[in-house]
Structure 1
Amino acid sequence: MVDVEATGSSSRRHRVVEVAVVQLDDERRVQGEYSTLIDPEGPVGPTHIHGIEQHHLLPAPRFGGIAARLAALLRGRVLVGHNVGCDRAFLAAEFDRAGIVMPDVPTVCTMRLAEESFGAPYGLSLRACARAAGISGWAAHTALGDARASGQLFARCAPQDRGELAEAAAVPWPASAHMTGEGARWIARRAGFSPFAAAGNGDERDRRMVSSGRHGGA
């Protein structure tokens, strides 16, 4: 699962301000969760949507500083997300700015999966699709919160027998030796950082964005 928060809607003109990756195993269990704020080297954009203010980014790395580690997290993985084409476009643009060509990895869109599974009784936004699937209680418009919700949608909607994983394993990524900034520190959101209530039920949940992972990821 992948999700980005950005300074605007255009991957050409705007920048990523937060990225999250949630890794699932073959049983669709969470293996690891990783997220970081990213310095967009300019205005943060719609704070009223993503909750990120300029001063939150003072310790955050630039994308080039986390590109190598992010590529390692995505290597061999299917790129899954809600309206995943948008997330992929932003990631490809940021990798390009860092001098890295993002390969043509297989993608799965949870928006389309949810539409096929439940129709669109409330619309096609992540919140609407999650509502149709009975998913609630995540920190909406945070990269990790939305990646988690997309992961739950995927687990409920995607057929078990899919061929994308084998395809992803064969996709060659640039060697990390050719990337810079591999050791840049990832800076996650802290508890209470976001002004938004948890999506679906209005509860004020713990919003710590974690960077952790269990061994054995595919």
Structure 2
Amino acid sequence: MPEVVDVLELTRAGGYDATGLEFTAIGCRTTALRSGQLVELAAVRTRADGSTIGELSTLLNQESAPTLPEVLGYFTELLQGAVLVAHNLAFVARFLGPELDRYGIRVPAVDTLTTAKNTVRLPNYRLGTVARSLGITDTRRDTALDDARTGARVVTALVGVHGLRLTAWPRFGPLPQLVKSRPLAPRRAEPAAPAQGWTAELPDRMPLTVPVDSPDPALEEAYLEVLGNAVAARQLTSAPPTGFGEDELRRIHTGFVHGMRTVAEADGILTVEEVADLKAVATTLGVPGVVADVRPTERADRPTRVLVLGRGADADELRAAVLTRGFQLAKNLTASVTHLVVCPDIAPTEPRLARAAEQGVTVLDAATARRQLATPAPEAAPAPPPVTRLAPALAPAVTPARPQGTNAAQWGGRVITALGLVLVFVAAIAEFGGAPFAAGLVAFVLGAGIALGGWYLGERWSVRSW
């Protein structure tokens, strides 16, 4: 890590409240991941409550665009007195570090990649995945400014919603007043249309882990980010240059395609489109064998797609659990949603609850969803792939209502009682007709006993029928 940044940690156990600070999130684009140069840089300054103070962006080192030294003054103004924020700070610092060091600039900084890894469990820690787990869904990833805006929202969610605190207080020194020799040249092209199809959300659910023995963890994280964005936008036409050796690149590509396959098979359904995309990506990345045996399934079950309604850390943890289990995380209540999770902060009058009932969507409260998402997924069967789904809402434990009418046991008891009473009546008539006293007494006692026994049996089974 270049010495131009003082790396700060955000944790739940931190001793310094960060809600009064301001943050400047950085986003960038480069020509290559290693030994490349910046071609776009953006920054967004925000308060911890999420309000934006200012933002800027510019293209760099191309045609009529300025170089970084010519416009660095604009960025240092946005950095003065704020904590720098970057996702994969170690990678971003490789490109910004030399220029900052040249002017003796040193700033406090937070890495949202490291912070997310220490805060929430996710299948991967791409910026888009972290954002979605925090309920930030209306984002784009087309430009450096898009990344800076998303990074700003991520850090304010971690501080303001999840209550993360700094382990050390930032030290702000005066930054030099740099000459702005060229105007900024922001990107003018309209952003691309939102990605469509099953691959649009696929990277957010893929289990991707950078091993501890990776020769360059920051570079590998950046490469997985690039691959995920390209797959989501269906723009992966060739493997981007990385600087990794052949063996390392094959390991990364194998893990990436295997992650795609894991998610595609998680719901037990493989469509023709999904199989074609899997094979196309595997071939492009030079590892076709990873999906050589994949075939479309004939089953037409709906994949599990979950919408979590709610704000706050609890709702974010549920979103993270949905992604970790490999389920689809919905942004809106559409016809494709199969499960709706309702957090305690959602009012009973929320219109989407009635709509969900009309659509036949399974509605779960947060506690039930948490229990079901915490249940380990079943082991995969060789063929066909197992269907892993959220179970329907558990029925509350209630005492059944007393059944209407009379069951057979009760009728039997009443018949026995009637017979006993008849015998008592006959014994009484016999006594008045001159029958021996002893025989009448025995018949009377026997009849009374039978009547009482029948009454007891009828009442006993009546109680049991509750």
Report the TM-score when normalising by structure 2: 0.34
- The code of the aligned residue for 2:30 comes to A
- The code of the aligned residue for 2:57 comes to S
Does the Cα contact within 8 Å between 2:42 and 2:148 map onto a contact in 1?
yes
Aligned position for 2:317: none
Aligned-residue identity in percent: 27
Structure 1 residues 198, 163: CA separation in 2 closer, same or farther (over 3 Å shift)? farther
Aligned position for 2:170: 167
Which of 27, 35, 47 matches 2:49?
Answer: 27
1:55-134 to 2 correspondence within 5 Å? 57-96=62-101, 99-103=102-106, 105-121=107-123, 123-134=124-135
Aligned position for 1:189: 187
1:10-21 to 2 correspondence within 5 Å? 10=34, 13-21=35-43
Aligned position for 1:216: none
List gaps (5 residues or longer) in structure 1: 40-56, 204-218
Matched, 1:4 2:28: yes
Does the Cα contact within 8 Å between 2:71 and 2:182 map onto a contact in 1?
yes
Structure 1 residues 168, 7: CA separation in 2 closer, same or farther (over 3 Å shift)? farther
Structure 1 residues 116, 152: CA separation in 2 closer, same or farther (over 3 Å shift)? same
- The code of the aligned residue for 1:126 comes to L
Q: Give the match's secondary structure for 1:106.
A: strand
Q: Give the match's secondary structure for 2:170.
A: helix
Alpha-carbon distance in structure 2 between the residues aligned to 1:21 and 1:2: 5
Aligned position for 1:152: 153
The structure that is helix-richer by fraction is: 2
Offset at 1:196?
A: 6.5
1:44-59 to 2 correspondence within 5 Å? 57-59=62-64
Offset at 1:138?
A: 2.2
Does the Cα contact within 8 Å between 2:30 and 2:37 map onto a contact in 1?
yes
Does the Cα contact within 8 Å between 2:48 and 2:156 map onto a contact in 1?
no
Does the Cα contact within 8 Å between 1:5 and 1:18 map onto a contact in 2?
yes
* Deviations, residues 36-74 of structure 1 (Å, cap 9, x unaligned): 1111xxxxxxxxxxxxxxxxx322111111022222221
Q: Give the match's secondary structure for 2:174.
A: coil
Root mean square deviation, CA, Å = 2.7
Does the Cα contact within 8 Å between 2:108 and 2:170 map onto a contact in 1?
yes
Alpha-carbon distance in structure 1 between the residues aligned to 2:40 and 2:27: 8
Does the Cα contact within 8 Å between 2:47 and 2:156 map onto a contact in 1?
no
Alpha-carbon distance in structure 1 between the residues aligned to 2:110 and 2:86: 7
- The code of the aligned residue for 1:184 comes to R
- The code of the aligned residue for 2:152 comes to G
